[in-house]
Amino acid sequence: MLKAIVVVGGIAIIFHHIITLGFIMGYHKSIYNHRPGPCRLVPGIVNGSEDIFVLPNGLALISSGMDHFHINPNTDLIMHGFKGQIYSFDFNQPDNPAKVVPIEGGIDKTKFRPHGIDVWHDEKTGLVQLFAVNHGIEDTIEVFDLDQDRLVLKHKQTYRHKLMISINDIVATSKSSFYFTNDALNREGIKRKIESLLLCAWSTVVYFDGKDAKIVLDKGLMYNGINTSPDKKINLCKSINFKYNVSIQKRSK
């Protein structure tokens, strides 16, 4: 009798897990395309695109060539030749293709594989800085000064911290502080696969003040995209939990 109860209970747990995965993947939803007008493919980007930030002047910065291999070594072999780059696209000249933004400075470009990006604009000095999540040998945050006259990125700083585990996205709060999301507790390997398969709510949102970091939101199911409200008082963070999709956090002063 006990054996039958255990078997039935195990089957029920597995069935519930499969149903939960189905809800997360959105198989129960109907998706309708809504477009503001005609859409077309922007030429010039050859290694895919992951994130985009549009400056007030209409210039967009786009991250490309993200590294998937630390998560899944069996990713399409074609992607092994991808090159991590930042592209620009000018919405004031929409018929022109996207262009590679040259990078200057000490960063190893062969290990630059950008993911989420954000921009900090100092209105007093006019300084524009690009913050980029980088999946190199380890996950880091790379900071660049944008020379808008030459349209060149000058590498300024690399940030490392033990809480930078599996970074997905970033939102800058000053020239040296930012929030970022870890979409998992484990960066790679069998532990990462088990964590994803079992839907472990171990992802985090972390605040870095320029010197140290602390977790400000935890127990998330793959926290990924993060942004802040126009008044900079509220953070919005996207997760894949089917019960809720956006976490709202009031920022402390």
Summarize pLDDT for 147-181 with one digit per residue, the tens.
Answer: 999 999 999 999 999 999 999 999 999 999 999 99
Active-site positions?
115
Q: Looking at residue 244, what is its pLDDT?
A: 55
Exposure string for 206-232, b = 16+ CB within 10 A, e = fewer: bbbeeeebeeebeebbbbbbbebeeee
Q: Looking at residue 140, what is its pLDDT?
A: 95
Q: How many CA atoms lie within 13 A of 143 on its CB side?
A: 19
Calpha distance 240→126 (Å, rounded): 37
Do the beta carbons of residue 194 and residue 174 sit within 8 Å? no
Q: Looking at residue 78, what is its pLDDT?
A: 65
Interior angle at CA 31, CA 224 and CA 48, nearest 5: 50
Model pTM score: 0.86
Among 165-174, 186-195, 202-211, 236-245, which is the least confidently predicted range? 236-245
pLDDT band with cut points at 50, 70 and 90 for residue 74: low
Interior angle at CA 52, CA 48 and CA 186, nearest 5: 70
pLDDT of 71 above 70:
no
Give, for 169, the enclosing helix (H) or strand (E). strand 167-172
Lookup: tokens for 135: 């999946």
